[in-house]
Amino acid sequence: MTETDTHDVGDVATQDAGDSAISGAAEVPASSRTGDREDRLVAEGEIAGDYLEEFLDLLDFDGDIDLDVEGDRAMVSIDGGEDLTKLVGRRGEVLDALQELTRLAVHQKTGERSRLMLDVAGWRRRRREELTAMGDKVARRVLASGQREELAPMTPFERKIVHDAIAAVPGTRSESEGVEPSRRVVVLKTGDADATGPAATD
C-alpha cells in the first residue's frame, strides 16, 4: 500500500489496486465485530457485578454474583443468600426496580444504554418456565376451541415469554392489548375473523 501512495497519479491501474487494498484493510471482519460486542457485554456485566456487590454489602445481604452473556444481553444473577427473596418482591416488582437501577449504574459508567438482565434467587428462570408452560397450554386450548382467550396483565418481560411460547404452536398467534400496567396477552386461532393482520410482539 505504501508503494501505491508514491506512484504517479496517471498510473490508474496501480492506484485502483491500491485503493482496493486500502478499502479491504478498512473493513472490519464480522468475527471482530462479534468479539467487540461480547467484550462490551462482559464489561457491562462486570460493572453491574461491582454495583450489586456494593449494594449487597450496604444491606448486609449474602449472595454469590454470577456473570454471563446470552445473545445480545449481559446476564447477571445473584444466588445463595437467605435474604435474597426480599430483592424479588411478590411478582418481581422489587427485582425489576433493582434491574433498572443496575442498568442506570452501567449507563453512568459506559454512556451507553444497557439491556442487561438481572435474576435473583432464580426467580426469573422459574417464572420463565411457568410462563412457557402456560403459554403452550393456552395456545393448544385455543387451537382446539377456536375461542380467543385473554390472559391476566403481565410485565413486558412476562409477555415476551408468553408470545414466544404461543408462536411455537402452529395455528395460533398472540397480541398484546391495553396499556401498562394492565397490558395483557390475547391468544387467537390463526384464521379467525378477529385474528386478521400481523401479530403484535408486545
Q: Is the pLDDT of residue 47 over 60?
A: yes
Is the domain of 83 the same as that of 164?
no
Q: How many domains in the chain?
A: 2
| Cα distance between residue 51 and residue 42, in whole Å | 14
Q: What confidence tier does 24 reach under pLDDT thresholds 50, 70, 90?
A: very low
Q: Which of 66, 49, 45 is nearest to 57 (CA)?
A: 49
Domain containing 181: what range?
A: 126-195
Q: Is the pLDDT of residue 58 over 70?
A: yes
Q: Which of 161, 154, 151, 158 is nearest to 187 (CA)?
A: 151
Q: Is the pLDDT of residue 164 over 50?
A: yes
Long-range contacts for 96-100 (Cβ within 8 Å, ≥24 apart)? Answer: 96/155, 96/157, 98/55
pTM for the complete prediction?
Answer: 0.72
Residue 55: in which H helix or E strand, if any?
Answer: helix 30-59
- Residues 61-105 pLDDT 10s: 999 999 999 989 999 999 997 899 999 998 899 999 999 999 999
CATH number for the domain harbouring residue 106: 3.30.300.20
Is the domain of 134 the same as that of 116?
no
Is the domain of 135 the same as that of 177?
yes
